Amino acid sequence: MSKISNQTIGKNILRSLFAQVISLTTSMVINLIIPKFINSYQYVFWQTYVLYASYMGIMHFGLLDGIVLRYSKYDYPELDKRKLSANFWILLVMLVVFGSIGIIIGILFFKQIEEKIIFILVSVSLVTKNLFMFSSNSFQITNRINEYTSLIIRQRLIYGFLATLLIFFKVEYFFWFCLIDIIADLLSFLSTFSANNKIYWYYKKNLAKNIGEVIVNIKSGMSLMVANFSSNFLVGSAKVYIQSYWNPLIFGQVSFGFSITNLFLTFITAISVVFFPSLKRLPEEMLSKFYLKIRDMMTPILLFALWLYYPGCLLLSKWLPTYQQSLNFAGILLPIIIYSTRMSLLTNNYFKAFRFEKKLLFINLSTMFLEIVGLFGIHILLKNVEAVMIWTIIVTMIKSIWSELLISRFLNLNLYVDIIFEIIVVVLFILTNLTLSFFYAFIFYSFLLIIFLIFTRQKLRSSISLLRKF
C-alpha cells in the first residue's frame, strides 16, 4: 500500500468534483426539467420507483461494504484478483436469483398495472444498481479515481441523454423514465469490463476455494451495510409515511422538495468516495488535524448552500409554478444538507477508517427507531406534513452530532462551540422561512451569513493554508 500525499488527495478531489459537476448538471435535468413536461401523477409513479430502487443497495447483504472495509488498503496491482472475482460471481448469482423472484412476485401478486410495473422495474434495478456499485467500489478501494470519475460521468451522461430524448419526443409515461435509469446503470457497468477484466474473469474452481473469503466479507460488511441502510431509511421513512397516508399529489410535492435538497447533496457528498482510501493511507498523527481543517472549510460552504435556496427559489417558482408548495417544503428540508454532508464526507469515513462500524450501526439504528417513534406520534397527534419534515431534520441533527462527538472525543477535538452555533443557524433558517415573508427571510439569513463569515475569516484562511501544506 502506497502512502498518499496531500497533493494526490487534492487531485483526486478535483477529479471527483469534475465528475460531480456532470452529475449535478444531469440531476438538474432530471429533477428540474422532467417535472415541467410530465403530469403530476406520472411524476408520482416515477418518484415511487426512485424511492424503492434506492433501497436495492441492501441486497448484497454487506458483501460490497466488506470488500471496501477489507481491501481499501491495497493498490490495484497488489489486489488478489481471484478473491475479488469469487466475490463478484457469487454476488451476481445472488442478484439474479433475488431479482427473478421479485419479477415473479410482481407478475403474480400485483393487480394494479402501475404497481406491477414499478415492482418489476425495482426488481430489475436490484441487479443493475448492485453491479454498478461493485464496479464503482472496485475503483474506489484501489484509489483509481480517474476510472471512478469516468464511470460516474458515463452513467450520468447516458441517463441525461436518454432523459433528454424522452423530453424531446414528449414522452410522459413514467415507465420510460424508470427504464432509462436501469439502462444507464447497466451500460456503465458493462463499460468497466476493460479496466476490471481480471476481476470479472471466471477462474475455474475459484468459487469453492474462496467461499470462506466471501463469508468473511459479508460478516465484516453487514454492520456497515445495516448502518448505511438505517441512515438512508431515516429520510426515506418520512417519504414512505407520506406516500402511505397522504394523497399522491402531496407525495409528489414532498418528493420534489427532497429532490431540490438532493441537488446540493449530490455535488458535495460524492467527494467522500475520495476520502476513505485517502484516510486509510494517511499517517495516524495527521488524522485529527485533517478532520478539523476539512470541517472548518466545509461549514461556510454549507451555510452558503442554504443561502442559495433564496435565489434558487425565485428561479424555480417561475419555471415550475405548480410546485410552489415543494419550494416551501425545501425551505424546511434544506438544513439536512449540513448534517448529511458532514456524515457522508467526514464522520462516516472516520468510522470506517477506525473500524467503528458497530458504533456507527448503533447510532444509525437508534436514530432510525427514534424517527419511526416520532412519525407514529405525529400520525396519532398531528397528521401534519411540515411536522414530519421538521422531525426528520431533528433526528438527522441528533445522528450527526452524536456521531461527531464520538469521533471528536477519539481525536481529542473540542467542537461544542461550532456545533451549538450551527444548531442556532439551522433553527433560525427554518423559523424565518416558516414565519417571515420570503424577502425578510432572505435579508435576515444574508445578514446572519455575513456575520458568520466576518467572525470566522481567520479560521477559514488558516484551514486553507494548512491544507495546502498537508
CA distance 66 to 215: 9
CA distance 272 to 279: 10
pTM over 0.75: yes
Q: What DSSP assignment string belongs to 228-286?
A: HHHHHHHHHHHHHHHHHHS-HHHHHHHHHHHHHHHHHHHHHHTTHHHHHHHHHHS-GGG
What pLDDT does 174 receive?
96
What pLDDT does 162 receive?
95
What pLDDT does 468 receive?
59
Q: Specify whether the CB–CB gap between 2 and 283 falls below 8 A.
A: no
Q: Each residue of 422-453: b (16+ CB within 10 Å) or e?
A: beebbeebbebbeeeebeebbebbeebbeebe
Place of cell 497533493: 7
What pLDDT does 396 receive?
92
What pLDDT does 367 receive?
92
CA 67-73-75 angle, 5° bins: 95
Place of cell 439474479: 96
What pLDDT does 119 receive?
97
Q: Is 111 helix (H, G, I), strand (E, B) or coil?
A: coil
Q: Is the dihedral of CA 223, 226, 229, 235 positive or negative?
A: negative
What pLDDT does 233 receive?
79
Give alpha helix (H) positions in 382-435.
385-411, 416-435
372 burial via Cβ count (<10 Å: 0-12, 13-18, 19+) = middle
What pLDDT does 352 receive?
76
How many Cβ atoms are within 10 Å of 469's Cβ, its own excluded? 6
Q: Specify whether the CB–CB gap between 447 and 425 falls below 8 A.
A: no
What pLDDT does 206 receive?
74
CA distance 201 to 82: 8
What pLDDT does 283 receive?
67
Residues in the chain with pLDDT values less than 50: 470
What pLDDT does 305 receive?
85
Q: Specify whether the CB–CB gap between 142 and 67 falls below 8 A.
A: no
| Amino acid letter, residue 183 | I
> Residue 438 to residues 235, 320, 346, 445: CA-CA distances in angstroms?
26, 17, 33, 11
